Amino acid sequence: MDAGLAGNGVRALDAIAARAGETPPAALDRRRLAARIDDLATIMYTSGTTGTPKGIRFSHRNVVFKRFARALALPEIGEDDVFLCYLPLYHTFGRYLELYGCIFWGRRTSSSTAHRSCALVGGMVRFRPTVFISVPKKWIQLHEEIARAVDLSSASDRRSTRRSGA
């Protein structure tokens, strides 16, 4: 953890895990029962591409609504799908679609910590994902990476030949 954060109410995960047994189960039950749908669930950081960096507050209701809205937009995704996830969990797409989606859809997730296109192509070969969600720039980079390794015109010709039954 960044030393500059210590003492400002920020704790390392290891420090939190080390104290997990200090809270009695009855206290956890009280906290769980006290939680309300409009209580703060998480704060997501935005880098400020349109202005000053800021934290966006999400209530439990926001999280649930966002999750179901994504499910309605992508009804064909199901428990047999395999995602290749690469976005960091502080990214709204990475957290809500990739992380929470794996819980909602009950599907398998393979993660890549490398964001370079060649590493993602390697992850696709290794994990054989059925779903890969990304931003347009990454799709362009992946296309260029694959085009360097494969003759796309001959691959397209083979696909056309198979479709026509020849």
Please give the tally of structural domains in the chain: 1
Phi, psi of 12 (to 5 degrees): -70, 150
Beta strands in 21-80 (DSSP E): 40-46, 54-59
Alpha-carbon distance of 88 to 82, in angstroms, equals 18
- pLDDT tens for the chain, residues 1 to 166: 555 556 667 778 788 889 989 999 999 999 999 999 999 988 887 766 677 777 888 899 988 888 788 778 878 888 888 888 877 777 777 777 777 777 777 767 676 666 677 788 888 888 888 888 777 888 888 888 888 888 777 765 555 555 555 5
Q: How many residues does the chain have?
A: 166
Residue 109 falls within a domain, yes or no?
A: yes
**Domain residues for 147?**
35-164
Indicate which CATH number applies to the domain containing 124: 3.40.50.980
DSSP string, 1-32: --GGGBTTTB--HHHHHHTGGGS-HHHHHHHH
